[in-house]
Structure 1
Amino acid sequence: MKKLLIPVMFVVLFISSLPVYALKLKIDPELIDPGKEPYQFEVKIEDAADLSAFQFDLTYDRTVITIDSVILGDFLGSTGRTVWDPLLETIDNDHGKLTFGAFSIGDAEGPSGDGILALITYTPSGPGTVGAVTFDGDRTYVTATQVSGALPRELEDAKVTPICEITVTPGAYGSISPSDDDGVVAVEKAGNETFTITPEECYQIAEVRVNGNPLDEPVSSYTFNNVTCDGDETYSIAADFKIKQFEITSGVSGD
């Protein structure tokens, strides 16, 4: 039993010592509205470490959008390294494919953290068109200055689709999720979106308002169903929170 335990412990320790890669390339926004200007989206990197170069291939439905231009973001050269010119750039609207990449040289470390790799401008075929924009995982690479070979990474695709917006307004001492820094959540047209209302410790939900109207009872979750915005429809959810009230009962006991 002891002979078996030693190699098992070694394997466990070895696996636990392996690095956890959170590196991600994503298309932002995840929902690209073909009816809303400016007709642009970004390719972003998250959790980079000492970035030296990248390349990505995107595929898209040419009957939904065509790519007009690609501009290198400022993240790759943000630490003072020289970005090599010319860049790798091929726009093939006949086949719905974009290839773009860049690499840097210099003594400084590469950038770390989150940033924009590229800004892409496109032309939609119409405001109601729907189609996917996806990474080609076999032709998308990220490298670091002190690491040989391509790094493991996650890829997050996007969808071209008409969207509606829901305004999210949490009061003090609580939160509503999902939400973003602008307090607006994009929802695919005719889609559903569920929000979770969470009070801080020692607080409770006092009131929830949907589209400006208070609900009969405060709820911790609310779902908008079949969200449409063909006319003047607007959507919003807000919540107020209050401190919990505790009732203390005192009594006297004795002989």
Structure 2
Amino acid sequence: MYKFSLKFDDKNHSLSAEKGLPIDILSELLKDLYKAIDLDKEANCTLSNIRGNCYALDFNSLEETHLERFKIVHKNLQDVPLNILEGDEKKYGITLKKVLGDDYYVVAYDENNNEVASIKEFKSSKEIKYYYTYQTIYGYLSELGGKSINSKTKHIKVDGYPFNIYIDKDLDLLLKPHYRTDKLSMKIKLKRFFEKGNVVSATMDGFKVVHGKTLMGTLKDEGFIDLNIFKEVTSIDGLIDSLYGGN
């Protein structure tokens, strides 16, 4: 279960669970927040609690994507002028701005109760150099590795996708069995230049297998294979390395 929260307050700390946002305003805010964080569409996310000494909304979700989008959306709203944002993210920002008015501020917290963003006023000038967006892509891994065997920076290439996608060591291990064999759905975080929106770098946040291919299907696609290359193979990783030359 993934948890995150929004805490509304004012300078006099006058808000509480009993004295909070009107239900009509809250319903509009929650609807637009859900649209902004739900990339997969129709995945369950619940309002699990409303707490006091401020007006704190606690959320639960089974989807890690909801947590990651929640963090990105509020970080962007803190750092990026509203007119630069697009789609559901911008619509949620407009609603949030209306809710806050001149009196309130909101702080977003992650699953460990660490502050993600604090929003009182929305930026109107170009004060930042970079911002981040999320994207879901589908495809097959056509490259997996780094510049050297000991490289600390690993990346993948996806067939037909224009950018290297950087991964951590855990994802490197998890992706190896799917190299060139399985179609994947991948969550990508894009770092962009503020002024023109150009992509600076791409990082993978997670993936799911859309559908896989059997070993026999893979061997058929490869055509003739010298079976002598399998003499010393003792693991699945070794089999994959033997088939594709190692990475």
Q: Between Structure 1 and Structure 2, which shows a larger proportion of strand residues?
A: 1
Q: TM-score range by the shorter chain?
A: under 0.3
State the structure with more CA Rg: 1
